[in-house]
Amino acid sequence: MSRRLVDLARDLGIDPENRAYVPYGHDFAKIDTVAAGEGSAHGNLVVVSAVTPTPLGEGKTVTSISLGMGLSRIGEPALACLRQPSLGPVFGAKGGGAGGGKAQVVPADRINLGGTGDGQAVGAAHNLLAAMLDAHLRHGNPLKVDPARIAFSRVTPVNDGSLRKVITGLGGPLNGVPRESFFEINEASEVMAILALARDRGDLRKRLGNIVLGPDQGGAPVRAEQLGAAGAMSVLLRDALYPTLARTSEGTPVLLHAGPFANIAHGNSSLIATRWALTRSPWVVTECGFGSDLGLEKFVHIKARLGNLRPACVVVVCTVRALKVHAGLAKAVLGKPLDQAVLTEDVSAVEKGAANLRHHLRIATNFGPPVVVALNRFPTDTDAEIAVVEGIAREFGAGFAVHTGFADGGAGAEDLARAVVKAARPTDLRYQYEGTGPLAARLESLAKNVYGATGIELAPAARTRLAQLEKWGLGELQLCVAKTHLATTHDPADGGLPKPFVLPVRDILVRAGAGFATVLTGELTTLPALGARPNAVDMDLDPATGAAIGL
């Protein structure tokens, strides 16, 4: 039976009667990390990444959860730091982000539907700033903001592609100043990135004030602080600043906090949660979004660089089915059964698709920490196919383990846990681009050293933005590249096999509060749209029990 949340809190050195423990019903509690105290870090940080996923996902969250449970089962107490799931994929196509099978954070329905409300707080804070900006324009615009060049969006929690480009302020002077605007999904919000990177209340407040809304009519940046908005935004985020304590299906502790997507944001749970967890648990497992070219790269260059983190191990999740899809054997499509060819033994297809695994092992090993390949095993995987994956792991000097966490929970991840303990060694990271210097040069280093590109190509809009950043003294922001998660290149149609390519940069978004510049590549959007039959169609509420159906 799952242990009580108050018992997990005590294991982490928190007295539930202390103000550091803020209960949200029976299933969650906020941990005020300031009141709890941080102490000195002594835990081993395990960072879970993956190969290029198919649209179905390859079980990275399942692996992270089952690894945490597996470590605890072999006598190595662990705490997982995960992102708060997004409502976009929950109601869209991919589904929730609380794990699955016997490796879940529970109750999964409440977690997938917003948990303690952090996502709603992020959206409210973001949209408050947008509303205050438009009110400023309507009431005379004393800051002389240029309405035609405002670069700050509004956000929505769901996939509503019709809001990507909008015109606001129609209907006369009482309704505002007409102007072009745009929406992004909550997880692409700069406020979400700030929540994930802030160190404390003071840092949160400072970062919110540094948000750049766009230029004034003289070309100088206008910031949220000048509007007087940052204080009220920080009030809205007061509770959201602290991580949520939850538990897995086997009763091991989990901290849920922040939820930036890795293909359009920086793809990692909060720095506050991770740093605090390392002071309370011998093992801390944290998950990066999508493949090592996205979530892991941003973990290293943004989160770890800012937080001075030293990972002890990187886990690269792989599936046989993903390698077969990358080999071109068949396509994986959300909402449709897998092609029978993917479910039939084909060693040669695995060997061909393994070029993708090699690509990600090159990326992961170049960052420095020891690497373990975790094969998330499906029932149709054969020993011969698994042997191919193990051979490639050994080729790179990486550890290897098969896990069946979805079917068997922590018991199915004990071998993986032992492989991680054997490999772990806190290691200084090898960054693949400099933290300072001209942004374009650093971006080219990232494209070549991580993505394997031959270079970059800047569109006119990107060149204009670079010049603007230099003029504003922001040319040394860190990089956060928005790139498809479905290919090793910028184009999802290219698939998972590495190939020579030039990375096209169509624009750069200023995220001065977060401390990075978002680099837009390809045709990637920061607001997904719903498909013809989204998951929401199959959801309902049981009138007898009040339970959610179809999540």
Token digits of residue 380: 């149709």
Three-state DSSP class for residue 183: strand
> Would you list which residues are annotated within the binding site for ATP?
54-61
Would residue 468 be called left, alpha or beta, if left means φ above 0 and alpha means ψ between -120 and 50 degrees? alpha
Residue 129: partners with Cβ closer than 8 Å, 6 or more residues away: 152, 191, 211, 213, 224, 227, 229, 233
Q: Report CA torsion sign: 270, 275, 279, 282.
A: positive
Cβ proximity of 394 and 535 under 8 Å: no
Please return the burial class of 295, using the count of CB atoms within 10 Å of its CB with bins 0-12, 13-18 and 19+.
buried
Residue 292: partners with Cβ closer than 8 Å, 6 or more residues away: 49, 50, 51, 314, 316, 360, 363, 364
Three-state DSSP class for residue 422: helix
How far apart, in whole angstroms, are the C-alpha atoms of residue 529 and residue 185?
10
Phi then psi for residue 416, to 5 deg, are -65, -40
How far apart, in whole angstroms, are the C-alpha atoms of residue 315 and residue 439?
30
Residue 187, amino acid = E
> Would you list which residues are annotated within the binding site?
54-61
Residue 272: partners with Cβ closer than 8 Å, 6 or more residues away: 33, 198, 199, 200, 241, 242, 243, 257
String of b and e for 352-390 (b: at least 16 CB within 10 Å)?
bbbbbbebbbebbbebbbbbbbbbbbbeebeeebbebbe
